[in-house]
Amino acid sequence: MFFIFLYIIIMVIHMYYINIFFLSSFLGYLLETFLKTFFFHSMNNGILFGPFIPVYGFGCVIIVLVEKFIFEKRNISKLVKLLLLFFIVSILLTLLEWIGGVLIEVCFDKIYWDYSHLKFNFGHYIALEMSIVWGLFSLLFVYLIKPVEDVIIKKIPKWFTILVSILFIIDVICTTLHLI
């Protein structure tokens, strides 16, 4: 319920972030479905019934906020910006992944990902190798994916965002009821 409350607050503040969340959650679902189909057959592609993986959505919103509040209107060289973005976002997304994993395990008694097989793991949910992947993903997101998402988001009508929001909330409720 906390996430629903947080979602409503963000929706009121700015629809742009909601659209980033949904579009990135959906793209994360497509990415993990692709990876599951062709490479990692035992991989879970999300906890929800619908085509969303919220950790990607929250992660991309975090990346956008870090870029906006830390780097906007600051005279920082491109190399320093790349390095700072990589390290700051690597830490924040690793923390997000750990929190998400712990919450899923505590609330639903399930483990949806397990990095204990990686050399530099810190338990099931985080590993240095994945932190590096998240840092690289953040650079890919900022310089390649976000510009395309921004073009798409400008064309999304408000009614569609509200409809997807309602469907997402229904999905969260149904998934929660199914898992508990």
Residue pLDDT, tens place only, 143-155? 899 999 999 998 9
For the ranges 6-10, 59-63, 129-133, 170-174, the lowest mean pLDDT is seen at: 6-10
Question: CA separation (Å) from 180 to 110, 119, 174?
Answer: 10, 33, 10
Rounded-to-integer distance, Cα 25 and Cα 10, Å: 16
Contact 17, 64 (CB under 8 A): yes
Mean pLDDT of 133-162: 90
| Euclidean distance between CA atoms 121 and 168, whole angstroms | 32
Q: Which of 31, 40, 20, 27 is nearest to 113 (CA)?
A: 40
Handedness of CA 101, 105, 111, 116 (dihedral sign): positive
What pLDDT shows up at residue 121? 82
Beta bridge partner(s), residue 6: none
CA-CA distance, 167 to 145, in Å (whole number)?
Answer: 25
Give the max Cα distance, the chain: 50
Q: What is the mean pLDDT of the chain?
A: 84
| Residue found under tokens 């742009």 | 16
The CA distance from 171 to 58, in Å, is 17
Does this model's pTM top 0.75? My answer is: yes
Question: What's the pLDDT band for 24 if we cut at 50, 70, 90?
Answer: very high
Percent of the chain past pLDDT 70, that is, above it, reads 89
Ramachandran area for residue 75 (φ above 0: left; ψ -120 to 50: alpha; else beta): beta
Spatial separation of the C-alpha atoms in residues 67 and 81, rounded to whole Å = 9
Beta-carbon contacts of residue 153 (< 8 Å; ≥ 6 apart): 16, 19, 20, 23
